[in-house]
Amino acid sequence: MTSPLDSEGHVGRLSSWRRWVEPWYLAYALLGATVAGVVPILVPLTVSRVQNASEVGLVMAAVSLGGLTAPVWGTLADHHRLHRSLLAGGLLATALALAVFPFATWPIVWLGLALLVGLGAAAAATVANLFVVEAHPQIEWDDRIGWLQTFYGGGQVGGLLLAGAFSQVHPRNGLLVAAGLTALAVVPGWFTTQTPAGPLIPKPILLHPARHGEWAIGSPQRVFHHLRWSALGQMGSPFGLFLLAWLLSFAGAAAMFSLYPVLMQQLYGVSPGLSSIGFGVAAGSALALYSPAGRWSGRYGPARVLELALGVRLLAFVGLLVLGLTHPGDRGWLALLVFLFVVLTWSLLSVSGTALTAQLSPANEGQAMGLFNATTAVAGVLGAVLGGWSAGRWGYVAALGLAVLGVACGLMLASPSGRSGTERKGLA
């Protein structure tokens, strides 16, 4: 992390991490536990007990769809200074939807509640970075946002472990606990924050990788963007080719992630409790790879790191597909081990993808980052819908087939786009 400049302009060392951490970070840790930890496990399990895989995919797509509303919340916060209201309102909306979800039985109601979860999480998470960039000098942004992501990532791991405890017998009770935790987050979120008295203009998009998981709708980094139609002019090659590669590879992965606990149980005989704990261990282990990923990206170039990560992820998905075809209901321990590599590659993908966005941007880096984040959100929606539809039609192994296809296509497209773009800018 970058050390701040002291009053004389010299780089100083901090005596304590407390300088960068504020009490409201706890609200985002609880949001991470709920949206990035509990929801991906317990919502699919709850729906699958009544509906088939197609409905599971649609419900998870509705959650991801909420991430696309992030520019709306960012604009409201900027122009009407609604930071605290968006934070509290978003948390309460998410809590309400999760509290009602266990008692719903109609698919249309589940879709509405899932969308409300996504909307509330996006509204709350959008202002996370605004509380940093509008209240503190730019020299402190890196450190404060780094700690913000640490809290969120830690919350995600804790939420996955919590989901594991409830997934075996009482997934609906787990959703009620998640609703309570999200409502509890309102306390530090409201009483320890103050709307910054910043200028009524959109803030620049921060070029920071999302250092946690796959769930774009809850990530403070993924939803912090002000996307404009003028940004579509940046879709030319090689940047547009890179975005297409990212869309395909992320959508392929989302086809599997949206069904994760049900797929692991149906294909490999892994109980939801064990699969969620395995996911939590993998997500926690991935946190240690972000720093090396940054060094590798600087030494070898982000394009090569991206290719490496997609290549490893492709091999992992192929391994899961082969296991699902040849040993259905067996080899659960091996499936969890292979899945570990799927999650670990996210650290490399997030760091290299963010770096490539900055490098390949033909014009404004902020608008390019907005397109990159929006592409991630769209991919999550498409992957969940297609994954659920294919699993409902041909079985859960079909969702793994989509994952293999998407990542393979992304890898083929990413190589020429990344290399030509860095060569064009003299960075290769």
Which tens digits make up the pLDDT trace of 309-321?
999 999 999 999 9
Is residue 241 pLDDT above 80, yes or no?
A: yes
Residue 270 and residue 266: Cα distance in Å, rounded? 8
DSSP secondary-structure letter at 18?
G
Q: For residue 370, what pLDDT is reported?
A: 78
CA torsion, ordered 416, 419, 421, 427, to nearest 10 deg: 180
Q: What is the pLDDT of residues 193-202, one digit of tens each?
A: 988 886 555 5
Residue reference for tokens 């402190």: 140
Radius of gyration in angstroms for the set of CA atoms belonging to the chain, rounded to a whole number? 20
The whole-number pLDDT of residue 229 equals: 55
More confident residue, 281 or 208: 281
Instruction: Give the Cα separation of 236 and 257 in Å (integer).
Output: 30
Contacts of 198 (CB under 8 A, 6+ apart): 134, 135
What's the gap between Cα 383 and its chain centre? 14
Return d(Cα 358, Cα 133) in angstroms, integer.
19
Reference 210, options 47, 373, 340; nearest CA is 373
Q: Is the pLDDT of residue 56 over 90?
A: yes
> CA angle, corner 331, sides to 409 and 323, nearest 5?
25
Longest dimension (CA), the chain: 66
Summarize the confidence of residues 381-393 as an average pLDDT: 96
pLDDT reading at 232 higher than 70: no
- The residue extents of the domains of the chain are 22-196+211-225, 233-428
Closest by CA position to 25, among listed 160, 181, 189: 189
Q: Which residues pair with 5 in a beta bridge?
A: 11
What is the token pair recorded at 68? 């696309």
Closest-CA residue to 175 (of 184, 166, 183): 166
Question: pTM of the entire structure?
Answer: 0.89
Q: Is 5 in a helix, a strand, or coil?
A: strand
The pLDDT of residue 231: 56
Q: How far out from the chain centre does Cα 245 lie?
A: 18
Please tell me the predicted confidence (pLDDT) of residue 251: 96
Look up residue 89 and give its amino acid: G
Give me the architecture of the 22-196+211-225 domain, per CATH. Answer: Up-down Bundle (1.20)
Provide the 3-class DSSP secondary structure of residue 359.
helix
- Mean predicted lDDT score pLDDT of the chain: 86
* Residue 377's pLDDT band (cuts 50, 70, 90): confident
Q: How far apart are CA 256 and CA 259, in angstroms?
A: 6
- More confident position, 284 or 363: 284
- Any alpha helices (H) in 168-258, and if so which ranges? 171-184, 186-191, 239-257
Cα distance between residue 47 and residue 88, in whole Å? 28
Q: Does position 383 have pLDDT exceeding 50, yes or no? A: yes
170 — pLDDT class (breaks 50, 70, 90): confident
**Is the pLDDT score of 389 beyond 50?**
yes
Q: Which residue in this structure is represented by tokens 């419900």? A: 59
Domains 22-196+211-225 and 233-428 share a fold: yes
Q: Where are the alpha helices (DSSP H) in 134-185?
A: 141-167, 171-184
pLDDT tens digits along 134-164: 888 888 888 888 889 889 999 999 999 999 9
Question: Quick one: average pLDDT of 208-216?
Answer: 75
Q: Which residue has the higher pLDDT, 425 or 224?
A: 224
Sign of the C-alpha dihedral computed for residues 342, 343, 344 and 347 taken in this order:
positive
- Kindly report, residue by residue over 99-139, the tens digit of the pLDDT: 999 999 889 999 999 999 999 998 998 888 888 888 888 88
* CB count in 10 Å sphere of residue 292: 12
Give 211's DSSP letter.
-
Please give the backbone phi and psi of residue 220, each rounded to the nearest 5 degrees, phi first.
-55, -30
How high is the pLDDT of residue 2? 42
In this prediction, residue 264 carries a pLDDT of 96
- Report which residue type is found at 373: N
Provide the residue type at 377 as one letter.
Answer: A
DSSP 3-state assignment of 136? coil
User: 243 vs 237, 251, 307, 372, 415, CA distance in Å?
Assistant: 10, 12, 14, 7, 12
Q: pLDDT > 90: what percent of the chain?
A: 58
The mean pLDDT of 184-206, rounded to a whole number, is: 80
Q: Which fold has domain 233-428?
A: Growth Hormone; Chain: A; (1.20.1250)
